[in-house]
Structure 1
Amino acid sequence: MIYVLIYMCLYLLYSIPTLYKVKRLSGVMKVEERDRIIHELPKRWSKGIMKRSGSTVYITGQQYIPKGPVLFVSNHVGDFDIPVLLGYIEKPFGFISKIEIKKMPIIREWMEMISCIFIDRKNRKQAIQSIREGSHLLKKGHSLLIFPEGTRNKGKGLKEFKTGGIRMAKDAEVPIVPIAIRGTASMFENHSWGIKPSHIHVEVLPPIPAASIINRDVKELSCEIQSKIQSSLDEERKVS
């Protein structure tokens, strides 16, 4: 665990010159190209974390990811979900994070650069504004990731999906790409101390097209996405 933490801290310090460089990227650059350049270092950092943890990541289904902005919707197993998905999903994306992360220097600035959104779940007005900000980012061409369970389930079964984040795809008229992830809780949450190697499985599922989202009830859509992810997790358990 100490080895991983030292790597994370040293790499963040190493990243500072690159952070200042990407802040100066031209605003006239295409969104896709700009996001690709900005995400290069966060992706390397994330893969480095997983490599030093001794864990192995298996990912399938990336051929389903459409071009253009999408809303990735994933189950939330553990703290290492973000490094896994940020490192191994080919399409760059920002994500919704709890507002407390804004207190962490360097990390906060990198998250702002990759189009992350900070949300205060205790402040309904601010939370609604964050959802509107997410819709705006999707409309501008950035992709986003949400964990609609809100908190980690630690591999103990899906919690009910909240609808707020999913509404962003409806408002922005972009496809939704469900993701099923398994194994990250075995790295940290489900034992008493330290970080342990684990086999992480990620399945990118076929997208729900934007055209079929526009006129759908958000609650109904949320239940459909949860069902797709649950089916993937159930199928994977049968195989393993």
Structure 2
Amino acid sequence: MLNSVRTFSFLFGYLPISAVNLKKFIKQKSQLSLEEYDKLIHTEPQKWATGIMERTKSTVSVTGLENLPDGPVLFVSNHEGNFDIPVLLSAIPKPFGFISKKEVKKMPIIPMYMEEMNCVFLDRTDRRSALKSITDTVGKLKEGHSILIFPEGTRSKGQEMGEFKSGFMRIAKDSGVPVLPIAISGTSDIMEKNNNKIMPAAVSVQLLDPVPANRIQELDTKSAIALVRSRIEDALDSPVQQSAGG
């Protein structure tokens, strides 16, 4: 119970501070390159996410940081729990936005940061919105920003990884950027498996070998999806992943 209070108190308590800093950052935008501004914006979400994870008392092991490419990349991760985003924001030094459900827009301050991070909002009940989110994400990647996507579309909550929806591969093919698969394990032990009470957990993040843009173009959509999904599935099944995830 104490972990839950501590975590949620920080989650919302840090927002006024981040709002002040966001205003300062936006004033500097015209003086910075795209890459410099993305790095600057990333500093606050990373502090926020790191603070959240510290208060859950969880441990996060990260491997494969050497696989991070220069330039824009489409991160493709399995989706285990609500803490996937804080874990990845705190663990990955490369700035990135992500695709998020539109309901997040109702939260205070967070949506303002997400827009500056180049996040894309999606209404899952509206097919037209889903198509627009694909176009918007392709545009962000072509501009030089990196994006994270969870192609399962919903949390597995520690169960078997779900099927990957094909939209992410259309994004990869249309944008012409490499795909970096991510295998994440243990986040559902923080919350989903505890009746939504926050408990310490051992979380493992593996940044796998990127799939080059030219390889994505060579493969048909079905084969390319199978390639990315199998890399993540193999990593989740590996002994290293199981021991790291407890």
* TM-score, length-scaled by structure 1: 0.96
1:115 aligns with 2:118: yes
Identity value in percent: 47
From 80, 83, 88, the counterpart of 2:83: 80
RMSD: 1.3
Contact 1:171 1:214 (8 Å CA) reproduced? no
Contact 1:54 1:198 (8 Å CA) reproduced? yes
Residue of structure 1 equivalent to 2:40: 37
| SS of 2:103 mapped into structure 1 | helix
From 26, 29, 37, the counterpart of 2:29: 26
The structure with the greater share of residues assigned to helix is: 2
* TM-score, length-scaled by structure 2: 0.94
From 168, 190, 194, the counterpart of 1:191: 194
Stretches of structure 2 that go unaligned for 5 or more consecutive residues are none
Distance of aligned partners of 1:164 and 1:53 in 2 relative to their CA distance in 1, 3 Å threshold: same
From 31, 47, 51, the counterpart of 2:50: 47
Residue of structure 2 equivalent to 1:126: 129
Find the aligned partners of 1:167 and 1:29 in 2 and give their Cα distance. 31
Distance of aligned partners of 1:10 and 1:112 in 2 relative to their CA distance in 1, 3 Å threshold: same
Stretches of structure 1 that go unaligned for 5 or more consecutive residues are none
Find the aligned partners of 1:80 and 1:24 in 2 and give their Cα distance. 31
Q: Map 1:205-220 to 2 at 5 A.
A: 205-220=208-223
Find the aligned partners of 1:236 and 1:142 in 2 and give their Cα distance. 34
Find the aligned partners of 2:131 and 2:195 in 1 and give their Cα distance. 37
Letter of the aligned partner of 2:19 in structure 1?
A: I
Distance of aligned partners of 1:193 and 1:175 in 2 relative to their CA distance in 1, 3 Å threshold: closer
Find the aligned partners of 2:102 and 2:175 in 1 and give their Cα distance. 23
Find the aligned partners of 1:47 and 1:238 in 2 and give their Cα distance. 22
Q: Map 1:1-240 to 2 at 5 A.
A: 1-27=4-30, 29-236=32-239, 240=243
